[in-house]
Chains A and B, each alone.
Chain A
Amino acid sequence: MAKNLEVIEQSTNKLTLAERQQKKPKKKKNKLKAVWMYTLLSIFLVVSIFPFYWMFIGATNDSSKMFTNPPTLLPGDQFMTNLTNLNESIGIFRVLFNSLFVSGLYVVIALAVCASAAYVLAKYNFKGKKFIFTAFLLSMMIPYQATLIPLFQMMSDFNLLNTYFAVIAPQLCFPFAIFLLRQNFLAFPTELMESARLDGASETRIFISIVIPSMRPALAAASIFLFMTQWNNFMWPLVVLNTNDMYTFPVALSSLMGLSYIDYGQVMMGVTLATVPIIAFFLTLQKQFISGMLGSALK
């Protein structure tokens, strides 16, 4: 109740002069408007959320239940059956491990590479700096697919097809992450670096013990961005990986749909397993997640 009053008070405070003069009829109008707004939002809410619910229904029911009329709208008891079948088809634990390992390792290395480049691009003056930065920016406009074939040939020539290395290497230097991190490093007070320098700290030491700790939120956002990039990556792993035991989650999922008999129960189980961890991760770290995924748009 007290909270409601507060909200009303806040909104009245924000009413303009013109509106204040005709406050009474406005109140009724506001109520109508609120009803309209909640209706609209509820419709969108159902559209946004229903597919997730349906995915869960599918994962816990038999394949045929997804195509009945009237529809099956309650969870069933086929959870374990679908999980077992899925595991038999694609080796779900191996695939999950592949995806987590590849994404995790990628985040660690890419973050180190991108953060150190972003840092010197933001805080130091050196010959060629502008050229390097412009090259990074321009490359963001180049579609990834334009590099696909030479990259494949390169991996093939070095006998690196079907390895984790091949999946990770091409995107370790991720210009968008460099750009995002650079924006954040720019805001770091140069005086702090100067005074550390006077105290005799080396440049590396300044970066590791002074700059990095204060950049945690930005680094967290960048990590999430990089993680999602790799976790979602599909075309490149599809091209360089060719055995079931090396497949990442998206590639394995997609391969399920290519089988001559499609068991929708296990496909839905796969879709659920690929989605739920990320949602849990997102719900716990909403703020970092959103700023990570939007990149610098929020800055």
Chain B
Amino acid sequence: MNRAKRFPYLFAAPAILLFLAFTVYPIIASFVLSFQERVGGEYVFAGLKNYTRLWNDDIFWTAMQNTFIIFVVQVPVMIILAMVLANVLNNQLLKLKGFFRVSFFLPAVTSLVAYSILFSIMLQEEGIINTALSYIGITAIPWLSDPFWAKASIIIAMTWRWTGYNMVIFLAALQNIPEDLYEAASLDGANKFKQFFYITVPQLKPVILFAGILSTIGTLQLFDEPFNLTGGGPADSTMTLGLYIYQSGFEYFDFGYASAIAYAVVVMVGILSIIQFKIAGDE
């Protein structure tokens, strides 16, 4: 092989080798591990044992349910808020655009652990949020000690962090929609609402899909927030799949079982992504 031909392989080699060692191998190894159990310090083949255990594991289903609830509430709320903000910021009448844009984006640059801890302090029974609520006549909410409100806390915190991020994505996409589409529509007598649903939304579809998929993968892997904000409690009400994988693997050191949970997540990410592509590709 001459030098010019060898060049691309040489340059791609570090990435490929690292990829094989730290991505491909672990993915295969964890698949194998999910069919194994530990007997006297050695991992031996256990058939479908981990998976049948998973199927009958209440905590796993609770985690699934929690993840699902957080996903179904948080993602739409966040995307709608982001969309509203992006539309307002895209208005020509508005001044201080840059200022608002940066301010709304700011939460997205905080570290996941730092903002989770910050919210866990603000949301305490006697914390600033309940104090503020007491001034508008709302009695103290048991944010972190009630199963319902604990989920709400996670949703609120995540929405705080990610709305501005998604808003910036939508804003960039809005600015790419050609102005004359709107002009033509308003000449045809379409009002603002019609314009929004018949021009803005379809034009933004790829971007909404992108935000949707990122959020799907993000929610299914949710770990930092429940770990630091609620600790998965009370009574597993904010246990997520990510947290359960961590606990099974590194608190109970049941690597086989943790791998089985991880693979359940892999399958779900795959299915959900396909569904989202299908929905988006239908029209």
Contacts and interface: CB of A to CB of B under 8 A. Distances in A.
Interface string A149-165: 11111100000000000
A257 B109 contact: no
Which of A169, A203, A256 has the largest number of chain B CB atoms within 10 A?
A: A203
A168 B183 CA distance: 52
A41 interface: yes
Given A51-B115, A264-B121, A18 B8 contact: no
Interface of A: 7, 10-11, 14, 16-19, 30, 33-34, 37, 40-41, 44-45, 47-49, 51-52, 54-55, 58, 66-71, 112-114, 116-117, 119-121, 124, 126, 129, 132, 135-136, 139, 141-154, 169-173, 175, 178, 202-204, 207, 228, 231-232, 234-235, 238-239, 249-251, 253-254, 256-257, 264, 267-268, 270-271, 274-275, 278-279, 282-283, 286, 289-290, 293-294, 297-298
B187 interface: yes
Contact of B112 (A149, A202, A250, A294): A250
Interface stretch (B48-56, B95-103, B141-149): B95-103
B33 to A, nearest CB: 6
B263 A34 contact: no
Chain A interface secondary structure, helix, strand, loop or mixed? Answer: helix
A136 B7 contact: no
Contacts of A204: 7
B26 A147 contact: yes
Contacts of A294: 165, 168-169, 172
Contacts of B207: 297
B111 A298 contact: no
Contact of A147 (B22, B186, B241): B22
Contact of B111 (A51, A170, A207, A274): A274
Interface of B: 3-5, 7-9, 11-12, 14-16, 18-19, 22-27, 29-30, 33, 84-85, 88-89, 91-95, 100, 102-115, 117-122, 124, 126-128, 131-132, 134, 160, 164-165, 168-169, 172, 179, 182-183, 186-187, 207, 210, 217, 220-221, 223-224, 227-228, 241-242, 245-246, 249-250, 255, 258-259, 262-263, 265-266, 269-270, 273
A298 B175 CA distance: 11
17 contacts: A47-B160, A70-B131, A113-B14, A120-B11, A126-B9, A143-B221, A147-B30, A148-B246, A173-B15, A173-B16, A173-B23, A235-B224, A250-B224, A254-B228, A257-B228, A274-B114, A293-B165
Q: Main secondary structure on chain B at its contact with chain A?
A: helix
A159 B271 CA distance: 37
B270 A253 contact: no
Contacts of A257: 117, 120, 228
A142 B27 contact: yes
A117 B197 CA distance: 41
Contacts of B245: 145, 148
Contacts of A16: 182-183, 186-187
A289 B101 CA distance: 13
A151 B26 contact: yes
Given A148-B262, A234-B112, A139 B23 contact: yes
Nearest to A114: B15
Contact of A232 (B9, B84, B112): B112
